[in-house]
Amino acid sequence: MYFCLFGYLSYFFCDCLYIIVWFFLFPIYLKRYYQRVFKKYVNENFKDRAGIVLSIAFKENALEIVSENIGKSEFNFSSFKNISEIENYFFIDVKASGNFMIPKAKINNVEAVKNKLKTIAEKQGIEFISELDWKWK
C-alpha cells in the first residue's frame, strides 16, 4: 500500500514541476514563435514593397509620396486617423488604406518632421501618440 501511494505522489510532483517549468518557459517560446511567424508573413506578402525608396513632401493640405518605380500619390490630411511615434519610427494611420511607416533613421531633420506632424494632428483634431519607450513584448 505504501509503494502505491509513493508512486502516485511522484507522478503528482512530476506534473507540478512540469506545470511550473511550462508556466515560465511558454511565454518565451510563444514570443519567439510569433516573431518567426510574422517575419515569414511579412517577407512572403510584402516582398515587392520592401526596399522601395520613397520621397515624402508635406503640401498645404496633403501628404505627397513619390516613388521612381511606382509613381506619385497624395493623401489629404483629413484622411488621417492618428499619428503615432515610437523610438525609431513615425506611423500615420489613414482611414481608407492602412498606414505609413516613416523610419526616423532616414530623415535628415527628425524634429522638424515631428513638429510638422504635431501641427497636422492639431489642425485636423486627431491624436498624436508618442510612445518613445515602446518595446515589442
Task: Dump pLDDT digits (tens) for 44-99.
Answer: 887 777 777 788 888 888 989 888 777 888 889 999 999 999 999 999 998 887 88
CB distance 126 to 118 below 8 Å: no
Amino acid at 89: Y
133 pLDDT band (50/70/90 cuts)?
confident
Q: Provide the grid cell at 24.
A: 515560465
Provide mean pLDDT across the span 5-29.
80
With a cut of 90, say whether residue 29 has pLDDT above it: yes
Give the closest residue to 98 by CA, choosing from 65, 58, 51, 122: 65
